[in-house]
Structure 1
Amino acid sequence: MVKHTMGETCVPINPQRVVTLSSCTLGNVLALGVKPIGTTNEVYVEGNSLTSMNGDPKGIKLLGLSQPNLEATLLLKPDLIIGVDWFKPIYPLLSKIAPTVLGEIDYVNWQRHFSFVAQSLGKQEVEKELWERYYQRIQKLKQALGSRYQGKKISFVTLGHNQIYIDAKNSFAGSILNDVLLQRPASQNRDSVYGSFPISLEELKKADGDILFVTTYSSGGNQFLEDKQREPLWKSLKAVQENHVYYVDFTSWAATNMLGTDVVIDDLYKYLVNTF
């Protein structure tokens, strides 16, 4: 029996045909060593694989972006559906297809959803091993960085749909930067309800730091970034002038799942250790 946002559901031990609803659930299931047969993925980009992270997307049927195609889901004959609480409106229909569990999705507490997925799959021992591995990698990265970034400020921003977003201290990537003990600019050293907050072009100084990580989502975000790079305010940023701007993958740095932690840590090695 698994407790979730819709009550309690009896789920199979060692399910063989799992369907995931949301990219964060997908990444957690893959991290735990289970390959789902189908998934939704709200950050899917046409032409790219289901996930750019270290999971194997081959053989996973894309059932929809923000909402699953229920007929396609039924045809897959899943024995367990795992998702997040924004699928509450269609829960009665999903639960007729297969046992369905919906966990709380709180972007600033992504660890909680990982634990929920592990419990639903009966993979608590694997979860424990993955946390041990995560903190071992964090410790090794801290040792590799040494004191070279002491006093340095690390900034992370996302551009998309004509808007600039700053990742707060309690975002997914922010939590990893915090674990590594990397410091954030004063404007970013705060918590936000959704882990990020928008700024205007006139507030671009809030995005500055000694190191600036930048990501975009959607083709509109890429064009918006190209436009902003021509702006005098962008060119005036310290990180831009000192050539310390690094472009990273959105689906990994905003993953909110255990699978994405490896990519963020790899990028921190790549740009902060190997380029020093």
Structure 2
Amino acid sequence: MGQQMSRVTFGIIVLLLAVSALFLFKQPLPQPVTSQTGERYVVTDSAGRQVEIPRRPQRVVVLNASNLELFHAVGGTIVGRPTTEALPPEVMAAVREVPAVGITPNPNMEQIMALKPDLILGVNMPFHHSLIPVLDKAGVPILLQSLDTYQDIIATLRFYGDLAGQTQQAENIINKLEADYAAIASRNKERPAPKVVIIWGTPESFHMATSRSFAGDLVKRLGAVNVADQGDDGGGQMGYVPLSMEYVARQNPDMIFLIMHSNDEKTSAKFRAELTNHPAWSGLKAVAANRVYQLPYRLFAVNPGTQVGEAFAVLSDFLYPEVK
């Protein structure tokens, strides 16, 4: 099984990470710079592209769930959205009547252009890079963004608040998120740091999440030691590295977190069965202590946006059960 886990192709990695909005290609988030016209921004997106966009866009199309949730939270309005159910119920209800333009990895260009957008918010992945030539020719700007860390959420909320002309609403949300995070972090101060591994994937492919992934970033902020960051193959610039159960056995973590790519119970059961059938599994300290936890799909398989405080709380309860 170890060999099967290590032979995952780059194409599978791209597909998995795309749907969950946990992205491998990381650059700084957009930093607004006023152009000479005063009615436009020149921003640098997560792909390192300088893009001129309207200061107050009126016809925004969003191509992924995470950016849609954040843009909606600060009072932004949209004319097009992705075909997805990976949104909080209240957001889904608010945008249900907005025209859908296809799933995130394969948006429908004809439908997008029919909406006459003045700004498109996408993700920094190849399938959205491929849209750039057509959109450039049509004079429609697209920002390619990554949401890999807690700080990315904060920066994106502030940026979207500025775009939507709702800076105070954005700051109110940010202040609450920061206060919730500070309260949780303070409870865990001076606690012994547990050693963990975060396993992400499907029954066909398994990865370890490093601290450059969203879940890994939250774990690090809460003081835990992520074994995927250790050793010569600890991830480098990558958010995920192929799972090696032999390596995990050598590290022998205190607890194991599982993030399943599907919310289907049968698929989830198969996922766990594939892992538990590995010869090294039963010898792990975390398994013997019954400290193997499946993280909620809605908070970890898809970037939770403004629900990140709840994600922190879930992790904190697992990492430091004695602290309440």
Superposed pair shares fold, TM > 0.5: yes
Give the Cα–Cα distance (whole angstroms) in 2 for the partners of residues 10 and 37 of structure 1: 16
1:209 & 1:256 partners in 2: Cα distance? 25
Distance 2:251 2:272 in 1: 13
* 1:89 is aligned to 2:124: no
- Aligned 8 A contact 1:30 1:259 in 2: no
- Asked if structure 2 preserves the Cα contact closer than 8 Å seen for 1:13 and 1:122, the reply is yes
8 Å Cα contact 2:211-2:229 kept in structure 1: yes
For the pair 1:67 / 2:106, whether they are aligned, the reply is: yes
Question: Are 2:222 and 1:171 equivalent residues in the alignment?
Answer: no
Residue 158 of structure 1 corresponds to 200
**Contact 1:169 1:178 (C-alpha < 8 Å) held by counterparts:** yes
Q: Which residue, out of 308, 314, 321, partners 1:261?
A: 308
Higher mean Cα deviation, 228-237 or 265-274?
265-274
Distance 2:86 2:115 in 1: 18
Residue deviations 1:21-67 (CA, integer Å, cap 9, x gap): 234422332343435443337xx5xxxx232x475213154422202
Q: Summarize the alignment of residues 96-107 of structure 1 with structure 2, pairs less than 5 Å apart.
A: 99-105=140-146, 107=148
How large is the Cα RMSD of the aligned pairs? Answer: 3.5
Q: 1:121–1:98: structure 2 CA closer, same or farther, 3 Å change rule?
A: farther
Q: Is 1:2 aligned to residue 25 of structure 2?
A: no
Q: Are residue 131 (structure 1) and residue 166 (structure 2) matched?
A: no
SS at match of 1:2: strand
State the secondary structure of the residue aligned to 2:225: coil
Per the alignment, residue 230 of structure 1 pairs with 277
Question: Structure 1 length normalisation: TM-score?
Answer: 0.76
Shift of 1:141: 1.0
1:114-129 counterparts in 2 under 5 A?
116-129=159-172
Q: Deviations over 1:199-235 (max 9, x none)?
A: 2333332674222211111469633432222333222
Aligned mates of 1:185, 1:82 — CA distance in 2: 32
Q: Which runs of 5+ in 1 are unaligned?
A: none
Distance change (3 Å), C-alpha of 1:92 and 1:186: closer
Q: Which residue of 1 aligns with 2:29?
A: none
**Does residue 1:248 correspond to 2:283, yes or no?**
no
SS of 2:236 mapped into structure 1: coil
Letter of the structure 1 residue corresponding to residue 141 of structure 2? T
Distance across 2 between alignment mates of 1:270 and 1:13: 41
Count, aligned residues: 266
Match of 2:91 in 1: 56
Residues 153, 211 of structure 1: 8 Å contact kept: yes
Closer, same or farther: CA 20–33 of 1 in aligned 2, 3 Å: same
Q: CA deviation at 1:271?
A: 3.3
